[in-house]
């Protein structure tokens, strides 16, 4: 480069000034983009909190929904929806967690490289299938012939959870140091004992946080439940998963389409409870996950 070029760089001139302004403008836009993203979260959470928190009362969690509400009439609550979500999500977790962990164990401890990639791709594909298609799949698989039930809804949610649980378990298992496996195998402990007794306990914290994140993710899902466990308005809290059960997301979905102010108020209150549950659990799980990952990385 000639010295003339260098002097251009050293002495501020119009060209340099313009480049600096463009740079400043672009930096400002990036700041604005980040501020917009954070503001969007703030606006949505604030809207829900402002409208939902004031509608919170004990009736919401203890009284059943009123089938045909009239303005000024009794409000009722949404206990059937809350109980239903508890049952459906609980059973879905019981279905997805063991299978997800087994898939991860297979991928990490046993599978040859080709199979590992194949299963990984399958999990990605499963993860990418829209929730509403999963709902329709379960409708075709179970509901046609057996009718709506909480169990059908649980199965649909479990299909959504499986790739989430397996993916996070695979990531955590991969962080367990190979030296632990080798030490155990070298002492003559058989492979299955090593896997279940040494490798899995090291990863259990991460697997649990992954499962909690998956629960937080599917607890708010509406689409898989819409055609698998939808009911009108049931008489009260129902804990039996073989019955069609109400759920919080489906109830919000239906209430948001209604005309009465009191129904919108109930929808906001339910949305507030759901959102708080999801935000608290997912933020806590994320925090725990980061901590245990750091710990495992330090151990490795």
Task: Tell which positions 61-90 bind other proteins, by CB under 8 A.
Answer: none
Of 116 and 239, CB closest to other proteins? 116
Cα 1 from chain centroid (whole Å): 55
Q: How near is the Cβ of 263 to other proteins at its closest, in Å? A: 11
Is residue 78 within a helix (H) or strand (E), and if so which, with residue range?
Answer: none
Pick the piece of the chain touching other proteins (CB under 8 A) from 60-68, 83-91, 212-220, 234-242: 212-220
Give the residue among 122, 126, 128 at the shortest CA–CA distance from 106.
Answer: 122
Which stretch, 64-72, 74-82, 134-142, 235-243, contacts other proteins (CB under 8 A)? 134-142
How far apart are alpha carbons 201 and 184 in whole angstroms? 13
Interface residue with other proteins among 222, 262, 263, 266 (CB under 8 A) is 222
Q: How far apart are CA 122 and CA 299, in angstroms?
A: 31
Rank residues 239 and 283 by Cβ distance to other proteins and give the closer one.
Answer: 283
CB of 270 to other proteins, least distance (A): 9
Residue among 170, 142, 161 at smallest CA distance from 96: 161
Taking CB under 8 A as the criterion, the residue among 58, 113, 114, 187 binding other proteins is 187
Cβ(108)–Cβ(173) below 8 Å: yes
Mask 245-274, x = binds other proteins (CB under 8 A)?
A: ----x--xx--xx------x--xx--x--x
CB of 20 to other proteins, least distance (A): 6
Q: Which is nearer to other proteins, 87 or 231 (CB)?
A: 231
173 or 239, CB closer to other proteins? Answer: 173
174 near other proteins, rule: CB under 8 A: no
DSSP one-letter string for 118-172: HHHHHHHHHHHS-HHHHHHHHIIIIIHHH---HHHHHHHHHHHHHHHHHHHHHHH
Q: Give the Cα separation of 176 and 50 in Å (integer).
A: 45
Of 57 and 290, nearer to other proteins (C-beta) is 290
Query: Collapsing DSSP states into helix, strand and coil, what is residue 65?
Result: strand
Nearest-approach distance from CB 127 to other proteins, in angstroms: 8
**DSSP character at residue 195:** I
Query: Between residue 91 and residue 130, which ones bind other proteins under the rule CB under 8 A?
Result: 99, 102-103, 105-107, 109-111, 115, 118-119, 121-130
**DSSP assignments along 270-286, one per residue:** HHHHHHHHHHHHHHHHH
Q: Which of 7, 12, 17, 23 binds other proteins (CB under 8 A)?
A: 23
**How far is the C-alpha of 145 from the C-alpha of 147, rounded, in Å?**
6
Position among 13, 33, 62, 178 found at the interface with other proteins (CB under 8 A): 33
Decide if residue 207 touches other proteins (CB under 8 A). Answer: no
Among 12, 13, 40, 240, binds other proteins (CB under 8 A): 40
Q: Is 171 in the site for other proteins (CB under 8 A)?
A: no
Task: Please name which of 109, 40, 55 lies closest in space to residue 262, comparing C-alpha atoms.
Answer: 55
């Amino acid at each position: 480069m000639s010295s003339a070029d260098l002097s251009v760089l050293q002495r501020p001139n119009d060209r340099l000034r313009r480049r600096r302004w463009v740079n400043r403008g672009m930096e400002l836009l990036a700041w604005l983009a980040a501020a917009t993203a954070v503001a969007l979260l703030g606006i949505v959470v604030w809207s829900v909190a402002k409208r939902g928190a004031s509608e919170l009362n004990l009736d919401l969690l203890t009284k059943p929904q009123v089938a045909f509400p009239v303005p000024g009439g009794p409000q009722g609550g949404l206990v059937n929806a809350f109980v239903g979500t508890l049952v459906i999500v609980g059973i879905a977790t019981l279905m997805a967690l063991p299978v997800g962990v087994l898939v991860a164990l297979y991928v990490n401890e046993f599978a040859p490289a080709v199979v590992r990639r194949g299963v990984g791709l399958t999990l990605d594909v499963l993860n990418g299938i829209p929730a509403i298609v999963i709902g329709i799949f379960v409708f075709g698989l179970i509901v046609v012939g057996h009718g709506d039930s909480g169990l059908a809804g649980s199965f649909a949610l479990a299909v959504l959870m499986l790739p989430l649980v397996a993916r996070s378990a695979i990531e955590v298992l991969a962080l367990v140091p190979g030296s632990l496996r080798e030490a155990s195998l070298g002492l003559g402990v058989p492979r299955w004992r090593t896997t279940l007794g040494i490798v899995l306990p090291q990863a259990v914290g991460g697997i649990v946080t992954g499962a909690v994140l998956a629960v937080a993710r599917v607890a708010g899902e509406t689409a898989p439940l819409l055609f698998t466990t939808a009911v009108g308005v049931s008489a009260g809290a129902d804990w039996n998963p073989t019955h069609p059960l109400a759920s919080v997301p489906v109830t919000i979905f239906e209430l948001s389409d209604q005309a009465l102010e009191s129904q919108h108020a109930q929808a906001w209150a339910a949305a507030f409870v759901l959102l708080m549950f999801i935000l608290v659990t997912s933020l806590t799980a994320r925090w725990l996950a980061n901590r245990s990952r750091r710990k495992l990385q330090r151990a490795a």
